[in-house]
Structure formats: structure tokens, C-alpha cells
Structure 1
Amino acid sequence: MPLIQLVKLNEHDPYAYLKDVLTLLPTQKNNAIDELLPHK
């Protein structure tokens, strides 16, 4: 729930954000995970 609230605070659609993150996560490098945070 805190992640969803953070997404909303950054004026993103929670569904679209989670869909995008879950799509990109398997191919994201470990040292670039912070790029998936909602404030980036």
C-alpha cells in the first residue's frame, strides 16, 4: 500500500505504473533497479 500511495503522490496512474514495472523488472539490471521508482 505505501508504494501505491507514493505512486499517487507522484501523479502517476498506479495500474499503469505497476504494469510497467512488472514488465521491466525481469530485464532490469540489479544496479539500475532505482530507475523503476515512481519519483524517477
Structure 2
Amino acid sequence: MVAVQDRFGESGTPTQLMEKYGLTAEAIVARSLELIAL
């Protein structure tokens, strides 16, 4: 699944939060490729 997992949010800059929750372009592409390979 490409989404934010069920957990409490945290404080930080938008960039820090996107990296922490795997919402960067690189992370989304990597996860999408994993799902396509199934």
C-alpha cells in the first residue's frame, strides 16, 4: 500500500515529515515498483 500508516503524527518541517512517512517521490516510486512486481 502506498499511504501513511496508522500512527500518531509528529511535528517537523514538511520535508522531514514526508521523509519520515515515506512520501517522497523516490519512496513512492520504489513502493510502486515493488507492488507492480507482485
Name the TM tier (shorter chain). 0.3 to 0.5
Structure with the larger RCO, 1 or 2 (CA within 8 Å, 6+ apart):
2
Structure of larger gyration radius: 2
